[in-house]
Amino acid sequence: MKQILLKKCTLLLVSLLFLLCILLSGCAGRHVPTAGDFTAACEAVGYTVTDNTENFDPSSLTTALTVTEDETSIGFFVFTAPDAAKSNYAQMLSSMKTGASDEKSIDSSEYNRFYVSTETGTTLLYRNGSTLLFATSSDNAKLAAFIDALGV
């Protein structure tokens, strides 16, 4: 009788540990880059950052950093409210999505990521909370290095 009870407890414990591992792996926090992270990642691959924050209404946007080079356009924005970032993400996404098979996207209430890379260029659209990032370039290697350096 003790052996049967011990086997059931062991099976229950293993099942609970397995379930806990599954739940915790899905709850891993996403990286929310800061303006400093963005600037450092840009500098690491040779992009020059311009601060355009003063060109926006401070009641809706607290940070606006951009990179504009030959065939590269990158923007980093921090909104005062997650809903503003979410609606801007949705607007930008609608103009980027083509339905191609190489498009990858993740959507949740707090986090969105759209990524596509082809021979002609790479595009990333990323939102986490109030932070929104877009990046597009025909220099796939340099943009990939930037994305890796930023950790998104």
Identify whether residues 5 and 45 lie together within a single domain. no
How many structural domains are present in the chain?
2
Give the residue numbers spanning the domain of 133: 35-150
pTM value is 0.77
Q: DSSP letters of 107-123? A: E-SSEEEEEEEETTEEE
Pairing of strands 72-79, 131-137: antiparallel
Identify whether residues 100 and 143 lie together within a single domain. yes
Which residues, in sequence order, are bridge partners of residue 104?
Answer: 115
Identify whether residues 93 and 112 lie together within a single domain. yes
Both tokens of 110, joined, read: 């707090």
The predicted pLDDT at position 100 comes to: 66
Identify whether residues 4 and 79 lie together within a single domain. no
Residue 108: burial class (beta carbons within 10 Å; 0-12, 13-18, 19+): exposed
Low-confidence ranges of the chain (pLDDT < 50): 12-14, 16, 19-28
Mean pLDDT of the chain: 81
Q: How far apart are CA 65 and CA 74, in angstroms?
A: 8
